[in-house]
Amino acid sequence: MRVIEMHQPYSAPPAGVPGLVLAIGDFDGVHQGHREVIRRAVQQAKEQGLASAVMTFHPHPREVLGMDQYRQILTPLPDKLQLLDRQGLDFAFLVKFDKAFSQLTPGEFVENFLLPMNPHTVVVGFDFKFGRGGEGTPDSLVSLARGRFAVDIVRPFHADGRKVSSTLIRDCLLSGDLAEANLLLDRPYTICGEVVTGAGRGRTIGFPTANVQPALPYVIPANGVYAVRVLTGGKMYGGVMNIGVKPTFVDDEERTLEVHLFDYSGSLYGENVRVEFYSMLRSERKFASVQELIAQISRDAEEARARLETV
């Protein structure tokens, strides 16, 4: 998949592209619903001998428009592009979303931005919005196309009886419902980061931990204890992660992500790791003593091992 960055003034696709079947969306999470839109574009491109492409936006449009909750996202740009690359696409057009772009009317978006790309077919989800104030809808895209390109509107995608959406996945993560979030994503939720120096308390109580500093502005799941797998040095390890403020010790205001790896020895300081979340074991809470905490961590580790054996 070739990534092409687009910014004003916007340009046409590279020479040699025979026409496009273009899926448009933010695609934060690249969840099952997003992948259905992309799958349709890839399938139609193959059937018609055309190039398949996605158009996506960076930064997240809602962040630019001042919605603070979207400063943390499910798949920051490097992760999103990696996931898109697995979908069999020929191109990814990465549009710089800024205040000027946000002020384009739906008609200006089609005439001055979309048509110069010479799309054969544009594929969008049923809830696609475009143009200033989100005025444009899939139906208005059909009207504005005026037969110059086809528009394929993909119906809502459901999993376990629920409509899949990035907002729903975000809400599941923030409430600690990893099982539902992973079902909607159709993969474990993942965070990448660097192992940084922590307080070192875990080692003193027999459970050495790695303090993971997220490398990008991910949505961080609710405070609690999770069964996870961690990729480091090309090898995957099971583990148990605590997200929170360590109330038994200090009750910090700053949240930390600390993971204890099973069957691992050595130092991870400075290493970049990938953490895959599988299930929440319990909420974070304050214990009456360090010994009570140690006993609970032992139970958490045993439960995490058991759960990871089933996934």
Tell me, yes or no, whether 150 and 294 share the same domain. Answer: no
User: CA dist 256 to 39, 40, 205, 290, Å?
Assistant: 37, 40, 18, 19
Whether residue 120 is contained in a domain is answered as: yes
Q: What is the CATH number of the domain that holds 207?
A: 2.40.30.30
User: CA dist 166 to 29, 57, 101, 180, Å?
Assistant: 6, 15, 22, 12
Tell me, yes or no, whether 66 and 208 share the same domain. Answer: no
Tell me, yes or no, whether 40 and 117 share the same domain. Answer: yes
Which residue has 């960055």 as its token pair?
5
Tell me, yes or no, whether 156 and 196 share the same domain. Answer: no
Tell me, yes or no, whether 285 and 147 share the same domain. Answer: no
DSSP-derived 3-state class of residue 109:
helix
Range of weakest confidence among 21-25, 67-71, 178-182, 278-282: 67-71
Residue 9: the pLDDT is 58
Cβ atoms 12, 114 nearer than 8 A: no
Q: Is it the case that residue 247 has pLDDT exceeding 70?
A: no
Whether residue 31 is contained in a domain is answered as: yes
Cβ atoms 30, 80 nearer than 8 A: yes
Residue 166: the pLDDT is 94
For the CA atoms of 106, 133, 138, 25, the dihedral, rounded to the nearest 10 degrees, stands at: 100
Q: Looking at the 3D structure of the chain, how many domains does it have?
A: 2
Looking at per-residue pLDDT, the higher value among 18 and 293 belongs to 293
Whether residue 251 is contained in a domain is answered as: yes
- pTM assigned to the model: 0.89
Residues 96-110: tens digit of each pLDDT: 888 888 889 999 999
Tell me, yes or no, whether 122 and 11 share the same domain. Answer: yes
Whether residue 176 is contained in a domain is answered as: no
Whether residue 129 is contained in a domain is answered as: yes
Look at residues 163, 265, 253 and name the one whose alpha carbon lies nearest to residue 208: 265
DSSP string, 166-177: HHHHHHHHHTT-
Looking at per-residue pLDDT, the higher value among 60 and 40 belongs to 40
Q: pLDDT confidence of 208, banded at 50, 70, 90?
A: confident
Tell me the average pLDDT across 156-160.
Answer: 89
Tell me, yes or no, whether 137 and 18 share the same domain. Answer: yes
Residue 254: the pLDDT is 80
Task: Measure the CA–CA gap between 4 and 148, rounded to whole angstroms.
Answer: 23
Tell me, yes or no, whether 195 and 296 share the same domain. Answer: yes
Tell me, yes or no, whether 14 and 63 share the same domain. Answer: yes
Q: Is it the case that residue 276 has pLDDT exceeding 70?
A: yes
Tell me the average pLDDT across 49-56.
Answer: 94
Rounded to 5, what percent of the chain is helix, strand, coil? 30, 30, 35
Whether residue 66 is contained in a domain is answered as: yes
Tell me, yes or no, whether 211 and 66 share the same domain. Answer: no
Residue 16: the pLDDT is 60
Q: pLDDT confidence of 133, banded at 50, 70, 90?
A: confident
Tell me, yes or no, whether 63 and 129 share the same domain. Answer: yes
Ramachandran assignment for 79, one of left (phi > 0), alpha (psi -120 to 50 degrees), beta (any other)? alpha
Q: Residue 144 belongs to what domain range? A: 2-162
Tell me, yes or no, whether 37 and 142 share the same domain. Answer: yes
Mean per-residue pLDDT over the chain, rounded = 89
Q: What is the CATH number of the domain that holds 87?
A: 3.40.50.620
Cβ atoms 214, 166 nearer than 8 A: no
Residue 225: the pLDDT is 96
